[in-house]
Every structure is written in C-alpha cells, then in structure tokens.
C-alpha cells in the first residue's frame, strides 16, 4: 500500500514538477497538498453496513471544466482562503494522458458540483480511493460515503485501499 500511495503522490506532483514554468502559487498548492497527505491514514476498503442514498450524479473528469469543479470541491478541505486559492491553482494543472493511472470524478448534488474523488490504479499494488471530499453541506458525510462507495464499485484492481475518514 505504501508504494501505491507514493506512486499517487509522485503522479500528483508531476503536474507541477514536470511543468516548464510552474507558477509560485501552484508550487505552494503542491506543498500544501503534500503536507496534508502526511497526516492521512489509508487501509483496506470496508464497505459501509448500509448503502448510501443515491443523491449524487457522478461524472468522470475528462475535460478542463470538470477539472476545475474537482479542484473547487477538493480545495474545501483547507480552511484558509489563500491556501484554497493555492490548491485550486495547483489542482487545475492536472493533465490526463491516454493511459493515466488516475481517474478523477465529480459528484453533482441537485445539479451542482458537491463531491469529488480519485481512483489511482497500479497493476502491481492495486487501487487506491483517495482525495474524496464534499462541500460543507448539511449532508457532507453522506456525500463522502456515497462517493467512496461509487468509486469502490468502479475500481478494477485489487486489493482496494481507501483513505480512512475521521
């Protein structure tokens, strides 16, 4: 699992470290993202005891407008507005190749982007469900749970690991 997490973090960093002219704000966003990764715990995916309600419509991120929506939702994990701005600058730099190991998803609730998450695949080490977040709505924890379940259903590699929510 450690190799899977490290590979995901290298892939996430590559969008800035491989860029010819990264902006200082995107570099700050990358540093904030990596610092937050240090405090996360991952473990085997455990399906919830009961199914979440189906309130999200989930789309794969396959164009820049959806990358922006993904970034706006994930940046809400940070409280400080300047940190959010740096995270958005960083996350909107994500580019996808044909055989990308990562799949990003945005969940829409009542027609508006409200949740996001990633499945990171590695043929050798399995799949990782990570960066699952939801806007601070009254049903935030339900949206996070539903997004995790939906991503687990889409994951193709085993074993399957997931960020352990607090």
**73-77, 93-97, 123-127, 158-162: which range is least confident on average?**
93-97
pLDDT reported for residue 54: 77
Rounded average pLDDT over 82-108? 93
What's the CA dihedral at 157, 163, 165, 166 to 10 degrees?
A: 150
pLDDT at residue 140, rounded to an integer:
93
Predicted local distance difference test score (pLDDT) of residue 51: 67
Cβ-proximal residues to 43 (8 Å cutoff; 6+ apart), any chain: 1, 161, 162, 164
Average pLDDT, the chain: 92
Cα gap 110→64, rounded to integer Å? 21
- List, in order of start, the domains of the chain with CATH numbers: 2-163 (3.40.630)
């Amino acid at each position: 699992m450690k190799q899977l997490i490290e590979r995901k973090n290298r892939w996430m960093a590559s969008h800035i470290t491989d860029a010819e002219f990264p902006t200082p704000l995107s570099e700050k966003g990358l540093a904030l993202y990596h610092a937050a990764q240090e405090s996360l715990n991952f473990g085997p995916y455990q399906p919830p005891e009961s199914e979440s309600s189906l309130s999200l419509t989930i789309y794969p991120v396959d164009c820049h407008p959806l990358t922006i929506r993904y970034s706006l939702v994930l940046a809400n994990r940070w409280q400080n507005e300047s940190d959010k701005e740096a995270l958005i600058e960083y996350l909107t730099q994500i580019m996808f190749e044909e055989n990308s190991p990562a799949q990003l998803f945005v969940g829409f609730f009542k027609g508006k982007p409200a949740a996001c998450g990633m499945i990171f695949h590695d043929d050798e080490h399995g799949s990782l469900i990570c960066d699952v977040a939801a806007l601070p709505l009254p049903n935030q924890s339900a949206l996070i749970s539903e997004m995790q379940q939906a991503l687990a259903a889409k994951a193709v590699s085993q074993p399957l690991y997931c960020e352990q929510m607090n």
